[in-house]
Structure 1
Amino acid sequence: MDYLRTLGSAAVSTLVQKSGLNLPFSLGSKVAQVEAYYTLYDATKRDDGSPVSVFEYDLSDSSKKNIKTFAHNSVRKLRTTRHPDVLKFMDAIESDSTIYIMTERVRPLSSVLAHYASKSAQEKEDWLLWGLHRISVPLTFLNDQCVSTHGKICTSSIFLSPSGEWKLGGFELLSNPREDSAVLYTMGGLLPGSSAWAPPEVKKGGWSKTKESDPAAADAYALGLLLHAVFNPTHPTPPTAEPPHPPPAPSSRGAIPTSLFPHFKRLLNPNPKGRLNAKGFLEIGMADTGFFHNNRLVKVCAGLDNFALSSEAEKTQFLKALKESASSFPPEFASFKVLPSLISALEYGGASGATILPLVLQFGANVSPEDYPKLILNSIIKLYASPDRGLRMALLEHLPEYIDKLDKKAVSDKIFPHLQTGFSDTVAVIREATVKSIILLAPKLTDRLLNNELLRLLAKTQTDSEASIRTNTCILIGRLAPSLGYNTKRKVLVPAFSRALKDPFIHARIAGLSAFMATIDLFEISELATKVIPNMAFTLIDEEKSVRDQAFKVLQALVKKLEEYAAQMVKL
Structure 2
Amino acid sequence: MDYLRNLGSAAVSSLVQKSGLNLPFSLGPKVASNETFWNLYDATKRDDSSPVSVFEYDLIHPLNKSTIPLARNALRKLRTIRHPDVLKFMDVVETDSVIYIMTERVRPLPAALQTWSAKNAQEREDWLLWGLHRVSVALAFVNESCASTHGNIGTNAIFISPSGEWKLGGFEVLSNPKDDVAVLYTMGGLLPDSMARASPEVKKSGWSSLKEQPVSAGDAYALGLLLHSIFNPTHPLPPTSQPPHPPPQPSSRGAIPPSVFPSFKKLLNPNPKARMAPKTFLETGMAESGDAFFARNKLVKICAGLDNFALAGESEKSALLRTLKESVTSFPPEFASHRVLPSLLSALDHAGASASSILPLVLALGVNVPPHEYDSIVLVPLVKLYASPDRGTRMALLDSLPEYAEKLDKRAVADRVWPHLQTGFSDTVAVIREATVRAVVLLAPKLSDRILNNDLLRHLARMQSDPEASIRTNTCILIGRLGPTLGYNTKKKVLIPAFGKAIKDPFVHARVAGVMAFMACAECFEMEDIAGRVVPCVASAMLDKEKLVRDQAFRAVELFVKRLETHAAAMVSRFLCM
Instruction: Compute the TM-score of the two structures, normalised by the length of structure 2.
Output: 0.90
What does residue 501 of structure 1 align with? 503
Distance 1:406 1:553 in 2: 38
> Is contact 1:40-1:56 (8 Å) kept?
yes
Q: Please report how far the alpha carbon of residue 139 of structure 1 lies from its aligned counterpart in structure 2 after TM superposition.
A: 0.8
- Does residue 158 (structure 1) correspond to residue 158 (structure 2)? The answer is yes
RMSD of the alignment, in Å? 2.5
**Worse-matched range after superposition: 273-282 or 442-451:** 442-451
What does residue 3 of structure 2 align with? none
Distance 2:475 2:90 in 1: 57
Residue 273 of structure 2: SS of its match in structure 1?
coil
Distance 2:384 2:135 in 1: 37
Distance 2:163 2:17 in 1: 37
> Is contact 1:312-1:351 (8 Å) kept?
no
What does residue 40 of structure 2 align with? 40
Write the letter of the residue equivalent to 2:362: V
Provide closer, same or farther for how the CA distance between residues 457 and 93 of structure 1 changes in structure 2, counting only shifts above 3 A.
closer
**Worse-matched range after superposition: 354-363 or 429-438:** 354-363
Provide closer, same or farther for how the CA distance between residues 248 and 533 of structure 1 changes in structure 2, counting only shifts above 3 A.
same
Distance 2:262 2:236 in 1: 19
**Worse-matched range after superposition: 214-223 or 559-568:** 559-568
Distance 1:409 1:61 in 2: 52
Write the letter of the residue equivalent to 2:282: L
Deviation track 1:61-97 (CA, whole Å, cap 9, x = no partner) reads 4344321121122122222222221112233444444
Distance 2:100 2:19 in 1: 18
Structural mapping, 1:470-485, within 5 Å: 470-485=472-487
What does residue 218 of structure 2 align with? 218
1:390 to 389, 392, 396: 392
Write the letter of the residue equivalent to 2:122: Q
Q: Please report how far the alpha carbon of residue 324 of structure 1 lies from its aligned counterpart in structure 2 after TM superposition.
A: 2.8
Structural mapping, 1:232-381, within 5 Å: 232-289=232-289, 290-348=292-350, 350-369=352-371, 371-381=373-383
Q: Please report how far the alpha carbon of residue 181 of structure 1 lies from its aligned counterpart in structure 2 after TM superposition.
A: 5.0
Deviation track 1:356-379 (CA, whole Å, cap 9, x = no partner) reads 333333334444555544444444
> Is contact 1:152-1:170 (8 Å) kept?
yes
Deviation track 1:247-295 (CA, whole Å, cap 9, x = no partner) reads 2222222221111111111111222222212111100000114111111
> Is contact 1:149-1:175 (8 Å) kept?
yes
What does residue 31 of structure 1 align with? 31
Provide closer, same or farther for how the CA distance between residues 501 and 66 of structure 1 changes in structure 2, counting only shifts above 3 A.
same
Q: Please report how far the alpha carbon of residue 457 of structure 1 lies from its aligned counterpart in structure 2 after TM superposition.
A: 2.2
Q: Please report how far the alpha carbon of residue 424 of structure 1 lies from its aligned counterpart in structure 2 after TM superposition.
A: 3.0
Provide closer, same or farther for how the CA distance between residues 176 and 116 of structure 1 changes in structure 2, counting only shifts above 3 A.
same
Q: Please report how far the alpha carbon of residue 349 of structure 1 lies from its aligned counterpart in structure 2 after TM superposition.
A: 5.9
Provide closer, same or farther for how the CA distance between residues 91 and 508 of structure 1 changes in structure 2, counting only shifts above 3 A.
closer
Deviation track 1:202-245 (CA, whole Å, cap 9, x = no partner) reads 22222222111112111111111101111110112101022342
**Worse-matched range after superposition: 468-477 or 404-413:** 404-413
Distance 1:44 1:307 in 2: 32
- Does residue 427 (structure 1) correspond to residue 429 (structure 2)? The answer is yes
Identity of aligned residues (%): 67
> Is contact 1:57-1:67 (8 Å) kept?
no
Write the letter of the residue equivalent to 2:526: E
Structural mapping, 1:73-222, within 5 Å: 73-222=73-222
Distance 1:136 1:555 in 2: 78
Q: Please report how far the alpha carbon of residue 20 of structure 1 lies from its aligned counterpart in structure 2 after TM superposition.
A: 6.8
Distance 1:350 1:167 in 2: 33
- Does residue 450 (structure 1) correspond to residue 452 (structure 2)? The answer is yes
What does residue 419 of structure 2 align with? 417
> Is contact 1:73-1:172 (8 Å) kept?
yes
**Worse-matched range after superposition: 164-173 or 369-378:** 369-378
> Is contact 2:157-2:170 (8 Å) kept?
yes
Write the letter of the residue equivalent to 1:319: L
* Structure 2 portions without partners, runs of 5+: 1-15
Write the letter of the residue equivalent to 1:333: F
Runs of 4+ in 1 over 6 A off after TM superposition: none
> Is contact 2:130-2:300 (8 Å) kept?
yes
> Is contact 2:36-2:191 (8 Å) kept?
no
What does residue 406 of structure 2 align with? 404
Q: Please report how far the alpha carbon of residue 134 of structure 1 lies from its aligned counterpart in structure 2 after TM superposition.
A: 0.5
Deviation track 1:371-419 (CA, whole Å, cap 9, x = no partner) reads 5444444443343333322222112111223323333344334433333
Distance 2:499 2:92 in 1: 72
> Is contact 2:337-2:377 (8 Å) kept?
no
Distance 2:104 2:417 in 1: 35
What does residue 11 of structure 1 align with? none
Write the letter of the residue equivalent to 1:449: I
Distance 1:94 1:122 in 2: 45
Residue 31 of structure 2: SS of its match in structure 1?
strand
Distance 2:409 2:359 in 1: 20
Provide closer, same or farther for how the CA distance between residues 38 and 457 of structure 1 changes in structure 2, counting only shifts above 3 A.
closer
> Is contact 1:35-1:193 (8 Å) kept?
no
Deviation track 1:10-43 (CA, whole Å, cap 9, x = no partner) reads xxxxxx9994755443322111112273221122
